[in-house]
Amino acid sequence: MLDLIPQRAVDSADINDRVVQVRHKDIDDVSLYERFGQIRRVPIEALTSTPDKTPTGEIIRELVEPTRIDDFHALQNKATGALLNVRPVGKTYALVPHDELFAQQAEILRDSNIPLDDVDVLDRIYEQGARVHRTIHFNDMQSQHDTRSGQPDVVRCRMDIFNSVDMSWAFQIFSGAYRDLCRNTLVFGGEKAYHQRRVHRGALSPEAMIEKATMGLDMWQNQKDQMTLWRKSPLTDRVFAGILKETICKKTTKAAAVDENLSVNERRLNWMLERFSEEKKELGSTLWAGFNALTHWSTHLPDARKEGRNECKRYTRADQVRHIVDGPAWRSLELAA
């Protein structure tokens, strides 16, 4: 009966001085990251000295006391209590804890249409938790490509996430059907559906990025013709702005009804065009880039996956995106391609 008790991935980890890794088949098992990657900010202090003087000005001794440094933090593995041997991070650094990241990824995948009954997971931690890399192979999702000699080559769909807490790696997600990859974005033995890269600054939203990668894999498997069409359909900034002005950036206030200059939510429009610019770096000026900018907007909400007002807002935004891609302006761009 004891062999029916599931073994946590961390129990079979391969450990050496620089790398901890484990292979398993459960996307919900993030025990390796809970054990070695539970990284959090902790306050740091500097020892400052003040001279203790006599009334005549002679120094008796130096008084040393700790002084809190407000704008910087050290990083600690809360599971072990150990401090990471990395430089302090500033208050603008967007820390993405490994354990929370992959628990969130598992939740998003569970809510998707991607088959999860047969997966292979490879978890890796480098330099005592400073950097991590998780690969998930989806064995029920395969894609066939031809080799240079013309022979068929079947590869499995996969998703790779790179993360760091020491500013050495940007946050990256690869998704597609390929055999191997390297961090300079090259893939081997197949094709990537999507690659996203963000530095750990500002409005970094791992949830939105994972949502887009998951959506890309789902479309790769079930709506590949649609995704291919969007990847080939051109979309300029001006045309995309026009679509936005008539949909999610359109104001419906009384003031907007009487003054056309007040009919556009310029703050949202600027934000959306900035997202579109980010997507174009990887996907070009295409409908596929526009769709991913829209998807980012629909999922870019604090605590969006929790119950409450934000959860309702998330579904409302997703419905608005569906109306856009089903609308006449979007469809006309498809037909033109």
Reduce the secondary structure of 150-170 to three states and give it as a string: CCEEEEEEEEEEEEECCCCCC
1 vs 305 pLDDT, higher one: 305
Output the average pLDDT for the chain. 85
How far apart CA 79 and CA 97 sit, in angstroms, is 12
Q: Which amino acid is at 138?
A: F
- pLDDT for position 253: 78
The angle formed by the CA atoms of residues 200, 205 and 208, to the nearest 5 degrees, is 145
- The predicted-structure confidence for 183-197, as pLDDT tens digits, reads as follows 777 787 778 888 888
Residue 15 has pLDDT above 60, yes or no: yes
- Residue of 290, 298, 287, 289 whose CA lies nearest to 321: 298
Count of CB atoms within 10 A of residue 34's CB? 19
Burial (CB count within 10 angstroms: exposed 0-12, middle 13-18, buried 19+), residue 17:
exposed
> Cα dihedral sign for 101, 106, 112, 117?
positive
How far apart CA 138 and CA 193 sit, in angstroms, is 14
98: left (phi over 0), alpha (psi -120 to 50) or beta: alpha
Residue 115 token pair? 């088959």
User: Which sequence spans correspond to the domains of the chain?
Assistant: 2-28+93-204, 226-336
- For residues 311-324, give the mean pLDDT: 84
- For residues 319-332, give the mean pLDDT: 92
- The predicted-structure confidence for 54-76, as pLDDT tens digits, reads as follows 787 787 777 778 889 999 999 99
- Residue of 33, 37, 28 whose CA lies nearest to 109: 28
The answer to whether 122 touches 21, Cβ cutoff 8 Å, is yes
- For residues 66-89, give the mean pLDDT: 90
- pLDDT for position 324: 94
- The predicted-structure confidence for 169-180, as pLDDT tens digits, reads as follows 999 999 988 888
